[in-house]
Amino acid sequence: MKLWYGVGSILSAERRNGLIDTMDQNPEADVVRADDYLMVDVARAREQLAGRAEALAEHMVQRVKGLVGGEPVLKGTRVPVRMVAAMKAQGASTAEIVDGYPSVTARMVELAEIWSAAHPARAAAEAF
C-alpha cells in the first residue's frame, strides 16, 4: 500500500500495477525494476515495515471483554484504535489527538493508523 501511494505522483496506475505484479513474481528480490528508468529498493521497504510491525506488536493494541464493547483499544487506555485512525483520516493532527486524549502518545497515534490499515473493520452485515 505504501508503495502504491508513494509512487502515485510518478507512475500511472497501470505502471504501479505492473510494478506490484513484478514484486509478487519475485518476492525475495532486494531490488525490483519497474521499467527502464525506475528501480525500487524492496529490501529497504521490508526493513521499514518490519520495524513498524515490531513496534506495533510490542505495546499497542489490546481487546478487553467488556471494555468499549470489545473493540480494539490502545493498550493501557480506553481509546479505540480505529477511532484514532479515523480522526487522523478526517484531518485531525497528532497533537490535537494527544491533547484530547492525554493517555495517548504520538507514537500510539502513528501505530493506530498502521494497525487500522492492516485490520479494516468489517461491515455490520458481514458480522451476521
**Which pLDDT tens digit goes with each residue over 76-92?**
899 999 999 999 999 99
Model pLDDT for residues 3-36, shown as the tens digit of each residue: 555 665 667 778 777 777 877 787 778 888 777 7
Residue ranges and CATH numbers for the domains of the chain are 2-49 (no CATH), 60-120 (1.10.10.10)
**Host H or E run for residue 32:** strand 31-33
Highest mean pLDDT among 5-9, 61-65, 96-100: 96-100
The answer to whether the beta carbons of residues 33 and 26 sit under 8 Å apart is: no
The answer to whether the beta carbons of residues 101 and 88 sit under 8 Å apart is: no
Indicate the pTM of the whole model.
Answer: 0.56
pLDDT at 24: 76
Handedness of CA 55, 107, 73, 76 (dihedral sign): positive
Q: How far is CA 64 from CA 72, 77, 79, 87, in A?
A: 8, 11, 12, 22
